[in-house]
Structure 1
Amino acid sequence: MKYLKKALLLSLLLISHVSFGQVAEKALRLFIIGNSFSQNATAYLPSLVKENNQQLVVGRAELGGHSLQQHWEYAEAAEANPEDPKGKPYNGKSLRMLLSAGTWDVVTMQQFSYLSADLESYSPYAEKLYNYIKSLQPNAKILLHQGWAYRSDAKKFGRVAPEQLAKNQEEMWQKSRAAYHAVAKQLKVGLIPVGDAFNAVATGTEYRFTKDMNFDYDHPVSPNLPIQTNSLNMGYYWKDNALVFDPNHANEAGRYLGSLIWYALLFKESPEKLQYVPKEVPAGFAAYLRSVAAKTVKDL
């Protein structure tokens, strides 16, 4: 777990504003309760919004590596004692303080990726957070952000039950997908199917990632890297003369795909019409990702 914690980003703790035009009242107000995966999956959302001259206000309660249970326990601590520092982990603010900053149209939450395939880990925290959000923002639409499975060459995968890990990417995806759908059905909320889109790419034919079997992983030489074409995850990279492996977090292509899904769900528009592409993502791959995003949202 140590390498995960080091790789996870610090939370974006302050409410950020991404608005375009003069009429702020027309902005979609989005509040995200999550962790580094929600940060990854919305990285290019502002750029996509800007392209179409739309307006978006984003509030964030994101802490790297955090689960639904941890977010709920912070809220619970703050409710018991508003002055308790344990209840104000978001840059000195509580979840109540952030959620009460205006009216939010959409509020999202997600499970920590390592626990996402373990249905038991959602209970009772997803329901408690749902009820808490509704008590503060009764008119908000609540959505579950579905995370993705780790890359196929990961050395270990997420938990599917206490003391039991998924055997591979496929099992992690199937069980995390089942868990998210079960919780969404229980709470009667919608899903942001980023995990489904990642899996569609991972199991596709034209742009599927495959591990480079010719690279010497045991004796790497800087700055050489294995071929990682079509990866949606960070994978291997050099840092401080050490070869780092992060098969979990999204790279620029993965962030682009996630942002396309979020955009399509929030603004009810096809991502295939979008022109913006991060400079790190090849044009052909980007076009394919837009088509995957469109199909994933359509099939939801």
Structure 2
Amino acid sequence: MSKLLRTGQHSLLFFFLIFSAEVVGAQSSATNKQSLRLFLIGNSFSQNATKYLPQLSKEGGHELVIGRAEIGGSSLQRHWDHVEAAERDPNDPKGKPYNGKSLKMLLSDGVWDVVTIQQASILSGDVSTYEPYARNLYNYVKKLQPNAQVVFHQTWAYRIDSNDFSRIAPGDSAKNAQQMWEKSRAAYHTTAHELNIPIIPNGDAFWRVNSSKKWGFQKDNSFDYNSAKAPALPNQAKSLHMGYRWDKEKLAFDSHHANDAGCYLGALVWYGFLYHESPKKLTFRPNSVDEAFARQLKKAAWTSVRKVR
């Protein structure tokens, strides 16, 4: 056998060994891939904001586990009141508001990487409503999950045609959506700074879209709201909120909660924040959100995440 042939065989063997090692390494990496374990202490707004997060995470190649301690309309104080009830008496039903479980029971189910807290949207503009409950919850989470990162989920302002806006001080409410966003943003940032925790900027992303001349929602002033008959509805294009819908024979209005587009925007923000990568590459979108609007929502989400970091 010639020296050249032996050299060639050795080179081929070396290449095969390196290639095999890379394949095994990749398989091992895929097998040992760690899930991100996310736990939410919130309400319907945290449900809205994470509705499409599993789909986005899957498309992005991320394994996600979500735990929830959510009560509709719940404030920081209410969550803490339930904790105190459970600590006084583990058998007190008041301490087990989460489908018969306490916050301690839910948080103790495995190890959580990220735990989020948030204020009830109607109180979000009044910084005096955050303490001592935000700090109490923070300390409680860190006691049970010392390695978890506690994060503030910044909720959003109501739709511009809402009939009510958040409290901004005792006995005083915001006059419009912009003031609600400004006051709630300040309250979230003040408290987050005191606790030294980061913020998921959903409120900023919502306002970035809503305040846009091109992409923001505009009320349909040509619609007769007082004499409307089913199934007629006003033009609600580019709305991020539920808005008007028919509930039997009644024209119902929800200016607070997110619709599909708002839930999509919320999940895009969470994706960018949690994984430190742009959601603009993702193709998933709800069927009710058109491609052009979806592109703008992805841009707004990523811009908001980058600005808050």
Q: Distance in 1 between matches of 2:92 and 2:293?
A: 48
Q: Does 1:48 align with 2:39?
A: no
- C-alpha distance in 1, partners of 2:239/2:199? 24
Q: Greater Rg, structure 1 or structure 2? A: 2
CA shift for structure 1 position 52? 2.2
1:104 and 2:112 correspond: yes
Structure 2 letter corresponding to 1:155: N
Q: 2:238 aligns with which of 230, 243, 255?
A: 230
Matched AA of 1:126: A
Deviations 1:19-45 (A, max 9, x none): xx9857600000000000000000000
**TM-score, with structure 2 as normaliser:** 0.89
If the length of structure 1 is used for normalisation, what is the TM-score? 0.92
Q: Show the 5 A alignment for 1:59-138.
A: 59-138=67-146
Shift in Å, 1:294 = 1.1
Q: Helix, strand or coil: the match of 1:108? A: strand
Shift of 1:56: 0.6
User: Residue 191 of structure 2: which of 183, 188, 196 is its match?
Assistant: 183
Q: Is 2:211 the partner of 1:213?
A: no
Secondary structure in structure 1 of the residue aligned to 2:186: helix
Change (3 A) 1:77 1:199: same
Query: C-alpha displacement at 1:239, in angstroms?
Result: 1.2
Provide, for residues 233-286 of structure 1, a one-character-per-residue CA deviation record: whole Å limited to 9, x for no partner.
Answer: 000001112110000000000000000000111111101111101101011000
Structure 2 distance, partners of 1:195, 1:40, is 13
Structure 1 consecutive aligned stretches of length 4 or more whose deviation exceeds 4 Å: 21-25
Q: Is the 8 A contact 1:24 1:55 kept in 2?
A: no
Match of 2:258 in 1: 250
After TM superposition, give the deviation of residue 105 of structure 1 in Å.
0.3
Report Cα offsets for 1:113-147 as digits up to 9, x if no partner: 00000100001100000000000000000100000
Report Cα offsets for 1:138-179 as digits up to 9, x if no partner.
Answer: 000010000000000001111111121111111100000000
Query: Which of the numbers 303, 306, 309 marks the counterpart of 1:298?
Result: 306
Alignment partners' CA distance in 2, 1:123 and 1:299 = 26
Counterpart secondary structure, 2:298: helix
Please give the alpha-carbon distance, in whole angstroms, between the structure 2 residues aligned to 1:22 and 1:279. Answer: 31
Task: State the alpha-carbon separation in 2 of the partners of residues 79 and 155 from structure 1.
Answer: 39
The number of residue pairs the alignment matches comes to 280
Q: Report the equivalent of 1:241.
A: 249
Correspondent of 1:272 among 259, 262, 280: 280
CA distance in 2, matches of 1:162, 1:237: 32
The one-letter code sitting in structure 2 at the alignment partner of 1:103 is: V
- For 2:47, the equivalent position in structure 1 comes to 39
Q: For residue 67 of structure 2, give the secondary structure of its aligned residue in structure 1.
A: strand
Q: What 5-or-longer segments of structure 1 have no aligned partner? A: 1-20
The sequence identity of aligned pairs, in percent, is 55
Deviations 1:165-208 (A, max 9, x none): 11111110000000000010000000000000000001112111
The SS at the match of 2:221 is coil
Stretches of structure 2 lacking an aligned partner (at least 5 in a row): 1-28
> CA RMSD for the aligned pairs?
1.2
